[in-house]
Structure formats: structure tokens, C-alpha cells
Amino acid sequence: MFTYHGGMLPRSPQRDRDLDFRQVDHYPVFDALRIFAGLMVIYSHSFVLVGRAEPSLAILGQYRITVGHAGVVVFFVLSGFLVTQSWQRKPTASSYSLKRFSRIWPGYTAVVVLSALVLGPIVTTLSLADYLTAKQTWLYILRTVLMSPVQFDLPGVFTSQPVSAVNGSLWTLPYEILAYAALLVLGLIGILKRPIIVLGLTVAALGAVRLAIQTRTIDLDTAANGINLIAAVNLGAWFLTGVCLFLFRDSLRWTNPIGVVAAVVVGVGIVFGESLLVIPAASYLLIFLGTRPWAFVDVVRRPGDPSYGIYLYGFPIQQTLVWSGIVGANPWALMVLASPIAIAFGYLSWLAIEKPSMRSLRGWVGRLGGSTAGRRASSA
């Protein structure tokens, strides 16, 4: 087998065989996949924000997978895989919670505050005094940071545009936190030590997606505190599939022929509109691609991991470009202009906020248990 200890993943001299997951510390190609997923979201939003329909990748009955939605599920599948790995390395509630907090909230809080107190005053139609004294301005910060629930509008901001939301991408973050919390519960009660039970939960979630979203046979259209049950089931199914793939990583084969079969199954699932084929096969394909050796990986990962920052800042950057009138109603112009700016903001977020915060907060992890898991900033 070939193993990874840093740098490139060498090929086996015998044949292209499975990755030895027991000796892998980090999957650098996952960073590239997340960057691509963030750009998929920007591409999709480029249409919505100029008043056009999002491009679709698949129509599975009544389940429409847009390009942006596909980008979101990439994050959830990879997150399910990596966060389960993180739990197994140090299965304690304190360590796990600190890691998850350090990965999500510092960068998230920064974009919320900057949107409200830097971008808002620049683009609002209100006077500066009226904007800063408006109750909605401060509730936007408080409620959004606490995700109780996430707020999308600021007073006088982008009100004349096709979409008035300041940062529509933030809607997925509460669902990710829910997924993290659910995994913590499964870990604490010992379910993660019983992969067959997790497999059963995953199959149940996939069945719920088919019945509640693809065919609308059952009605799960209810919401509380900004959390929609249908969205939770949908994203939860992708996340759980990532969890399952990690737990069964040593039982599955990860070879090129199987990867090709997975790609074919995804295609067949799209043709026949079947989520029970698309979700597991696409998830397998993502993990397969993320654990292969790719020549470009060092170039992509050397400066850091901008993927989360791309996702956080892409939407307000696009909204600002639409507000400026530079792009008119051209989604392609919006995509071309917004992408490099979002990438730059992504790297700034990583270098100035995310990486230092993770190093600082994960230092507590090491002091809590002396684990090496807290010594290195990771995008997991």
C-alpha cells in the first residue's frame, strides 16, 4: 500500500491500491476540493444575485441539485469524514467541542461583524447615524453570531437588488453545527464504535431524503428557530454518508476501477432521478478523489486553506459588486470578478483569523489531555 506522511502521496510500485488510512494524518487534496466547492457556490450565486435561476446539475424527482447546492454537500461529506477522524483521535467532549468551535466561530464572527459595521455603513441607503442606531443592525450581529437564528438583512442594505440578503451563504452554518452536535452525541453514547448502527442511521437518512424531498411522500416541511427539518434531513444524509465512509474506510476498496464504477453510478442516478444512487456514490467519489495523489496539491495547500473564507465572503463580495453596477446583470462577469477577490479574502481570513484562532484555542486541547492533535492547525 502507499502511505502519506507529508508532501506527495507516492504510488505503490506494485499497482494502484488502497490508501492505508491508519498512517494518514491529513488529506491535502480535500483542501482543493473545498476550494472548488466554494467556487461552485459563487458560480451558482452569480445567477441568483442578478435575478436569474441557479443552474442545476441534477433533478431527482422533486429534489433539484443546483451547482451551489452541490458545492454545499461537498463541504458536508468531507466534514463528516474528517470530523469523525478528529473524534477518533481524541474522543472527549471538551477536545472535540473546542476544535469545532475554533474552526467555525472566529472566522464566522469576523464576517458577520465586518458585514454589519464596515460594509453596511458604506452601502446602506440610510444615514450613518440612522444605520448605527437602528435596532436591526445590532440584532443582526447578536442573533447571527449566536445563530439564534441567522439574520440575513441589514437596514437599507441591498434593498433595491434582486436579493436583499447581506450574506445568504450563512444559512448552512447552523446545520453544520447541528451535525457536529449529533456526532458528539453518537460518540459519547458509543454509537461511533458500532459502525453497523451508523450505517443503519445513514440508510434511514437516505430513505428520508427520498420520501420527504425526492418524492414528497411524507411531509417534513416544518421549521423552528430558523432550522428547517427538510434541510436538516437533506444535509444530514450527506454528512452521515461521510461519517459512514470514514468508519468503513478499511472495509471498502479505494481503487481506480471502483472510482470509475462510482462515477457511473452517479451518472445512472442522475439519468433515472434516484437519490439513493446519487448520494452514496457521489460521496464515495469525493472521498476517493480526495485521497488520491495529485500533482497540483502542494501548490494549492502551501499558502493555507482559504476554502472556508471563500464560502464566508463570497456572497457579500458578489452583492457589493452588483450594488456597484460594475457587472450589470451579467452572471459570468460577476463570477469572474468575484472569484479572485473571494479567494484573496479566503487567504486573509485563514492567515489573520482562522489559523491563529485554531492554534490558540487548540492549545487548550493539548493542555486538556496532552494530545498532539492540538499542536497543529488543521482544516478538519
Higher pLDDT, 374 or 92: 92
- Residue 288 confidence (pLDDT) above 50: yes
Which of the 8 DSSP states describes residue 2? B
Residues of the chain above pLDDT 90, percent: 78
Q: What is the pLDDT of residue 107?
A: 96
What global pTM score does this model have?
0.90
**Residue 103 covered by a domain:** yes
Q: What is the pLDDT of residue 314?
A: 98
Domain span at residue 213? 21-374
Question: Cell 451579467 maps to which residue?
Answer: 330
**Residue 149 covered by a domain:** yes
Q: What is the pLDDT of residue 65?
A: 96
- Residue 2 confidence (pLDDT) above 50: no
Q: Cβ(371)–Cβ(89) under 8 Å? A: yes
Cβ atoms within 10 Å of 347's Cβ, excluding its own: 16
**Residue 13 covered by a domain:** no
Q: What is the pLDDT of residue 4?
A: 30
Residues 311, 71: Cα–Cα separation, whole Å: 10
Q: What is the pLDDT of residue 220?
A: 87
Higher pLDDT, 90 or 279: 279
Closest CA to 354 of 103, 82, 37: 103
**Residue 76 covered by a domain:** yes
- Residue 377 confidence (pLDDT) above 90: no
Which residues touch 163 (CB under 8 Å, ≥6 apart)? 48, 49, 319
pLDDT tens, residue by residue, 19-52: 655 555 667 789 899 999 999 999 999 999 999 9
pLDDT tens, residue by residue, 165-188: 999 999 999 999 999 999 999 999
Amino acid at 56: S
Residues of the chain above pLDDT 70, percent: 86
**Residue 7 covered by a domain:** no
Q: Cell numbers at residue 71, please?
A: 458545492
Closest CA to 139 of 160, 120, 162: 120
pLDDT tens, residue by residue, 50-83: 999 999 999 999 999 999 999 999 999 999 999 9
- Residue 192 confidence (pLDDT) above 70: yes
* Segment 374-380 mean pLDDT: 46
Integer CA distances (angstroms), 204 to 82, 199, 237, 247, 335, in order: 22, 9, 9, 17, 38
The count of domains in the chain is 1
Q: Cell numbers at residue 254, please?
A: 479505494
**Residue 307 covered by a domain:** yes
pLDDT tens, residue by residue, 229-256: 999 999 999 999 999 999 999 999 999 9
Higher pLDDT, 358 or 296: 358
pLDDT tens, residue by residue, 106-159: 999 999 999 999 999 999 999 999 999 999 999 999 999 999 999 999 999 999
Which residues touch 283 (CB under 8 Å, ≥6 apart)? 77, 238, 241, 242, 245
Q: Mind spelling out the 3-state secondary structure of 344-380?
A: HHHHHHHHHHHHHHHHHHHHHHHHHHCCHHHCCCCCC
Q: What is the pLDDT of residue 19?
A: 60
Strand partners, 224: 227
Q: Annotate 187-196 with b (16+ C-beta within 10 A) or e (fewer).
A: beeeebeebe
Q: How far is CA 120 from the centre of its chain?
A: 25
How many residues does the structure list for the chain?
Answer: 380
pLDDT tens, residue by residue, 317-368: 999 999 999 999 999 999 999 999 999 999 999 999 999 988 887 666 566 5
Q: How far is CA 279 from the centre of its chain?
A: 16
* Segment 181-202 mean pLDDT: 97
**Residue 150 covered by a domain:** yes
Residue 221: band (very low, low, confident or very high) from pLDDT cuts 50, 70, 90:
confident
**Residue 15 covered by a domain:** no
β-strands 56-60, 63-66 pairing? antiparallel
| Alpha-helical segments (H) within 134-228 | 135-146, 173-188, 195-209
Q: What is the pLDDT of residue 1?
A: 27
